[in-house]
Amino acid sequence: MRGLMPAPASTPTRARRLFAIAAVVVIGLACDLASKAWAWEVLRRHPPKRIIRGVFHFEFAFNTGSAFGFLRDAAWSRWVFVAITLVAVAYVLRVAWRWTHGGLLVPTAIGLLIGGALGNLHDRLFRTMSIFGEGVRHGVVDFIVFFYWPKHRWPAFNVADVLLLAGMVMLVVGLWRARRAEPQ
């Protein structure tokens, strides 16, 4: 029953969990913003940096849509993605506040999710680029490129996207483990 009942607000375990979440958010967000600043300053003006030719590259991309460029041509999509991000962050903060199970898997996952969401939100709100024929657009800096097959590349992504994916996987595993631990 421990996971079903909210812990009192003053318990040190809640404070510890929230501190862990905040630490992961700060570290993840700092890594994301620093890497995007590097990509903006270095990769935008230079050819791709081939770390492992045909496998792993750093190459500048400016995504005005969401994952895989979804809705990149819809000017209104920026505000939809901002709203979705804010709702998602509010939801995972609620989960973090109410979480009473032990361990740091779920709090770490929540920190990764929030850090990744805030990193891409920052770009959607503040990063602009003049795009030929479209004028100035807001978007997200992407720069990590993997090739999953010779000459077939996965769409460019960024550190925030890695944080979001890792956070989702960890959250699913953590929730599954907590569910299994509850008495039937």
pLDDT tens sequence across 31-53:
999 999 999 999 999 988 999 99
pLDDT digits (tens, 9 = 90+) for 102-142: 788 999 999 999 999 999 999 999 998 887 777 788 899 99
Q: How far is CA 40 from the centre of its chain?
A: 18
* Amino acid making up residue 125: L
Structure tokens belonging to residue 57: 């590259």
Judge whether 123 counts as a catalytic residue: no
CA atoms within 13 A on the CB side of 133: 1
Residue 143: is its pLDDT beyond 90?
yes
Structure tokens belonging to residue 130: 């003049």
Report the predicted TM-score, pTM, of the whole model to 2 decimal places: 0.84
Q: Considering 32, 73, 123, 142, which one is annotated as catalytic? A: 142
The sign of the torsion formed by the CA atoms of 101, 104, 107, 109 equals negative
Judge whether 73 counts as a catalytic residue: no
pLDDT digits (tens, 9 = 90+) for 53-91: 989 999 999 988 766 555 566 666 778 889 999 999 999
